[in-house]
Chain A
């Protein structure tokens, strides 16, 4: 339905349901956007983009320029000086590396284990399946942030404070991932395909590896993106447990809360921390938007 609406009216009627073509054309839902609709939407998008644009402007100016009234709104030529300044001020390179390690490991693991659990929930018959699935989805409303003190005690006991494992291991599989893959695999993998795999002598793990994982690729990509961005942006738990081995967000927060805060410095750090996510979003934004909307319908 949504795909059809993008095409011009003539193309739409050609593929529309043949039963009532005249009616659909007369009313045309959803409605065509008016100038006002476009204007309002552009204003909203401008409001969304502006703070990020602004941080880019500041990061390319000198500190003196930031204190000007009225504010400068056009990028200057000091971006690379400022980036060098950030790398001199804190161990930002290590922080970027840490965040890459954490996000990449969490992403691979979440995709693997969520698809595995999703396969079991969507395609295998076992006693207690429905109850367990409901339980898994229900866990997502538990305010886990409030269990942070024993979690810290646990990590201290394991000797994991200031080690990346403390951030990676708790995130290795998520309720959202399990739910998302269960939904997708239920639709995308026909039972006949699994039956054929069984005939060929596949065990359940063989089915997972040879049939389910390849079929899950589109959804796995979306889940992977979400997971990567979430892990990259995670702040509270790393702040507590990685005080001397910061991830990007923790390093950024300490840049912003020093005794002498310089906005050019902190906003350059902000740009550096945001660019990797922004690149992913530019390239794969369509899939991310689609993923959120799909999850919404099923939820």
Chain B
């Protein structure tokens, strides 16, 4: 793992910290880049009650088994990516991989740290849903996509994971580091008709 001195978020070259404002005024769209976090891709047999039970014991909370939902633990949360695949998001210091390797010794699983491979963009504000609706084909109506829901989809032609964090609505958008600037500029452009403000992550 790279020394923390050299670790930068994918959008660090845009100098977003200097552009961040505490007073977004009338801006309908608030964009931010989330600080680096631990992101662990966990794969295992989601059809096995025993596997799910052991992960539950290890993490302290259950993995989501309902498609496209999120479960929240004390120190991390788990996003459903597929019937046998989850994304665990935790603070940088959580060290989930060693914990999982210890708890799941001898079982078939894969836990891969991906935190540095992705950028996480925060999208909120009163027009956040409008911006997202033009960017991806998901049905974002509160009846089908609300807090605690996540989905993998295409965001303007790139693969993205979208998670709704609260009712505001606030979203977090996970994209590959290599296309993070494209995603940022796309959202900035899509939001320009409502007014865009950059806020602190």
A and B, one complex?
A: no
Q: Which residues of A contact B (CB under 8 A)?
A: none
Residues of B participating in the A interface, judged by any CB pair closer than 8 Å: none
